[in-house]
């Protein structure tokens, strides 16, 4: 199971690397939804609020990945709205994030297993990650030419989520444990990617 998770994490980091390569090489954020990237920054910030207190056997690996996800997601947001803002498709990236954030938060309040803020925000991040790609997909429908970097980014991101779905399936097969919220969110996200590809 750990190998599946590591491969999924590799694909996720690869998706970040492709996005950063696109930004640095083309000096443009055209075709990248800033709204999706803001949602991902929210996802990782909310999910990893337990970073200072959650110690486990594989703490170094997990802590390192959490820091990487948070740092890179904020770096991408900064690059889109900072140095490359003149190339941002502001007129076409118009989906209101509030329509995605609020329902996910309300759903997390009612479906979280524990009423603690950390657990509710973790559940919120799981639901929000499942649909954070919607502004990106909406933007892709509006632009004429889709950049190869963006296609590779989306492919790596979709495969990352597929690996995590496999991880949950393997965990259920070997231990009979399952996380319904994570499975539901993974299924929603995979479905969104399947509709595009």
* Least confident among 79-88, 132-141, 160-169: 160-169
d(Cα 60, Cα 54) in Å, to the nearest integer?
11
The share of the chain scoring above pLDDT 70, in percent, equals 96
Q: For residue 1, is pLDDT > 70?
A: no
- Count Cβ atoms below 10 Å from residue 102 Cβ, excluding itself: 11
**Do 39 and 128 touch, CB atoms closer than 8 A?**
yes
Confidence at residue 188, expressed as pLDDT on a 0 to 100 scale: 94
* Least confident among 13-22, 79-88, 174-183: 174-183
Tokens coding 48: 């990893």
DSSP annotation of 114 reads S
**Do 46 and 124 touch, CB atoms closer than 8 A?**
yes
pLDDT mean over 9-25: 97
Q: What three-state secondary structure class fits 181? A: helix
**Digit-coded pLDDT (tens) for 124-149:** 999 999 999 999 999 999 988 889 99
Q: How many residues in the chain? A: 197
**Digit-coded pLDDT (tens) for 40-83:** 999 999 999 877 766 565 678 788 888 999 999 999 999 999 99
d(Cα 19, Cα 73) in Å, to the nearest integer?
10
Confidence at residue 197, expressed as pLDDT on a 0 to 100 scale: 72
The share of the chain scoring above pLDDT 90, in percent, equals 72
Confidence at residue 171, expressed as pLDDT on a 0 to 100 scale: 87
d(Cα 193, Cα 151) in Å, to the nearest integer?
11
């Amino acid at each position: 199971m750990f190998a599946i998770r590591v491969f999924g994490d590799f694909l996720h980091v690869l998706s970040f690397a492709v996005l950063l390569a696109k930004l640095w090489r083309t000096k443009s954020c055209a075709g990248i939804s800033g709204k999706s990237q803001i949602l991902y920054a929210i996802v990782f910030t909310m999910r990893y609020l337990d970073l200072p207190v959650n110690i486990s056997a594989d703490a170094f690996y997990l802590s390192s990945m959490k820091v990487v996800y948070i740092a890179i997601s904020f770096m991408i947001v900064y690059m889109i709205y900072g140095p490359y803002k003149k190339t941002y498709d502001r007129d076409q990236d118009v989906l209101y994030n509030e329509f995605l954030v609020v329902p996910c938060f309300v759903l997390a309040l009612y479906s979280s297993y524990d009423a603690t803020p950390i657990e509710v925000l973790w559940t919120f991040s799981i639901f929000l990650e499942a649909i954070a790609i919607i502004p990106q997909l909406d933007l892709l429908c509006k632009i004429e030419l889709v950049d190869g970097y963006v296609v590779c980014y989306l492919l790596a991101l979709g495969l990352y989520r597929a690996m995590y779905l496999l991880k949950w399936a393997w965990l259920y097969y070997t231990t009979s444990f399952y996380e319904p919220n994570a499975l539901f969110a993974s299924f929603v996200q995979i479905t969104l990617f399947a509709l595009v590809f």
